[in-house]
Structure formats: structure tokens, C-alpha cells
Copies of this chain bind each other. A is one copy, B any other.
Amino acid sequence: MGNTRSAPTLDDVAKEAGVSTATVSRCLNSPERVVEKTRIRVMKAVEEMGYTPNFAARVMAAKQSFTIGAIIPTMENAIFARGLQAFQDELRERGYTLLVSSSAYKPGIEKEQIRTLVARGVDGLLLIGHEREEQIYEYLERHRVPVLIAWSYSPDVRQTSVGFSNRDAIFELAQNVIDAGHSRIAMISGFTEGNDRAQKRVVGIRDALCANGIDPDSMELVETTYEIDSGANAFVDLMSRPTRPTVVMCGNDVLAAGALRGARKMGISVPEEVSITGFDDIELAEIVSPPLTTVHVPHRKMGHKAAQELIAMVEGSSEGASTCINTHIVSRQSLAKPPKNAATNK
């Protein structure tokens, strides 16, 4: 009755080793509770048969999967990659496995993936940004799945978050920009709908303008998708308007790289004729020319911290403590003083 050519089960191993399934299970999960002689015999059988426990069965029985899920907006650029890698590294070290999905910035897809991951028995979930249907958080609560929000820090909501203040971070950058002498500031932002990170970045710049006596409504703003080309197009759009800005602040480095490309295409030199800034400080920021002045986000630190906190929540040793990660400005060549006689377009 031995199934020679298909995956062995606990039962097969038990028979082979001449013990009960319970003993095999113990050898695997709490080896100290079985006497050495038996254990050696069992482990030998496990090795020889190439046994791997069936996870589905294990999850069902143990109601624990040692698996953490994460849903990020996109895998296509490096913005989330680095933080996520750090997150995964930390998880691995602590014996957890990471399952990743990408939602393509679509709330509908994210919702579906949350259900998929929960149904799969993840012990905890990492989500990017706060804003989503309240119903989703209720669903998660009902299923007793701890959630951690990253890439955004908000002390005044009930979800635990490990992130940074998008508003404050860009406010500081905008202050630098203004201090450099700019007053005609334009912005390229990713779509803000359903994206509190993007929203806060717009707000941050507006606030900085206000704080310096500049009318925030004078800021030209283009919202677009998150690809490089979109950044290029948005830049061309902005520079074709009646009054040219002296600086274009971008919602992230990818858009800024696009803006740079747009500038090159239009034959506009950066930063001599117009300055450009980014956000995130991913590798890209240093590679483009001129390199970007941007907001440095300590992605790895955030990833590690997020993993630690989420695991603590999963294991019940924490109720969920939010952490604010500090960002800082990195000055490179893409930001300079505005040109002396910054003429209007034409």
C-alpha cells in the first residue's frame, strides 16, 4: 500500500519509522519532547523519503501559518522593492515567510488580494498607506489578522503604522526650495485618489508655500500615473503653460526622472533653467543626471522595523505601537537657484 512515487505524508513516515503520526509531528515541531533514539530514527525516515509537511493541513490544524502577507502598489519600480526586501529579510530571520502581491495601485485589486491572503491563513498583513474602505479593516478585525501600515505614519488613526510623515518630509524639502529663492513652484504628483501618501505630499508643499507667504493656489499641479513617461509628459505640459515655473517638485523619484527626460527632450537644461526635485531617494536618484535633490527615506530601516512590530503583534507581545521614521533631505545637483531673470514662457 506504500505510495512509492508521490509525496509522502506524515502517515508514510510514521509507518516507515515504526511510530505514530503524533511522534513524527513532535519530532518536527518540538524535538525536545521526544527521546533521542526515536528522534534519530524518525528524522532518518523523513530525510530518506524527502518528506515535506503539507502546509494546508498544518495551517488548518494549528491555525497558524508563520506566514506574513504584503500587498504593495507595484513591483515595477524600486520604490517599494528595497523596503520590502528588508521586511522579508527580517521575517526570514524570525522564521516567517513572506507572500507578496501587487495591486497595480487599484483599490479593487488590493481588496481582492487581501481576501486571498487572509483566506490563505496569513498571520499578519503589511499594507501600504492608510486610506482604504473602512469595511476592509473590519473584515481584517473579524478574521483576527493584525495589520501594519507602512510608508506612512499617522498617530491619530487606530491602525498601527511604521512610516514617516509624508507631509513633513516634503515640507522640509519645499522650504529648502523656497530658501533657494524659488517662488514659482509647480508639482507633478501621482494620482491622489485613494492614496494618502500622495495627498500628504501635495499638502506639505502647499503648507510650505503658505508658511512663506506664497499663495498655494498659484502652484500648478499635474496628477498622473506612476510611470517615468507620465512624468515626462507632465513636465512638458507644465513647461508649456503661460507662466513657467522655476522649479518642478515631483511626488517621487520616478516621476522626477521622467521630468528630467522631458526636460532633455525640450532642450531645457536642469538646473540652470529649471530645478527638479524628487522623493524617496532610490538608486535612480543618484544615477540620473543631474542627480536629484530629494527626500531620503530609510527604506531598509522601515522594512526591518515594520517586520519586528508586525511579528510582535502576531505573537501577541504587542498591541501595536506605531513608529515614525525620520527622513532627511539629500541635496544634489538638480536643485539650484532660479535663473536670474526667470522669464515667462515665450
Contacts and interface: CB of A to CB of B under 8 A. Distances in A.
A21 B144 CA distance: 24
Contact of A287 (B75, B78, B116, B287): B287
B54 A119 contact: yes
A241 interface: no
Interface in A1-26: 5-7
- Between A6, A119, A260, the greatest number of chain B beta carbons within 10 A of the residue's beta carbon is seen for A119
Nearest to A88: B102
Given A78-B77, A84-B75, A101-B97, A7 B142 contact: yes
A289 interface: yes
B98 A101 contact: yes
Contacts of A88: 101-102
A288 interface: yes
B85 A81 contact: no
Nearest to A264: B289
A18 B260 CA distance: 63
A228 interface: yes
B53 A119 contact: yes
Interface stretch (A56-64, A209-217, A305-313): A56-64
A50 interface: yes
A121 interface: yes
Contacts of A118: 52
A121 B283 CA distance: 36
A121 B121 CA distance: 13
Interface in A72-130: 74-78, 81-82, 84-85, 88, 92, 97-102, 104, 109, 113, 115-116, 118-121
Contacts of A142: 5-7, 50
A330 interface: no
A56 B115 CA distance: 13
Given A97-B113, A99-B101, A261-B286, 5 more contacts: A55-B121, A56-B59, A75-B84, A76-B82, A288-B288
18 contacts: A6-B143, A6-B144, A7-B142, A7-B143, A50-B139, A52-B115, A53-B119, A54-B121, A55-B119, A57-B60, A74-B85, A75-B81, A75-B84, A75-B85, A78-B78, A99-B99, A120-B120, A261-B287
Interface of A: 5-7, 50, 52-57, 59-60, 65, 74-78, 81-82, 84-85, 88, 92, 97-102, 104, 109, 113, 115-116, 118-121, 139, 142-144, 228, 257, 260-261, 283-284, 286-289
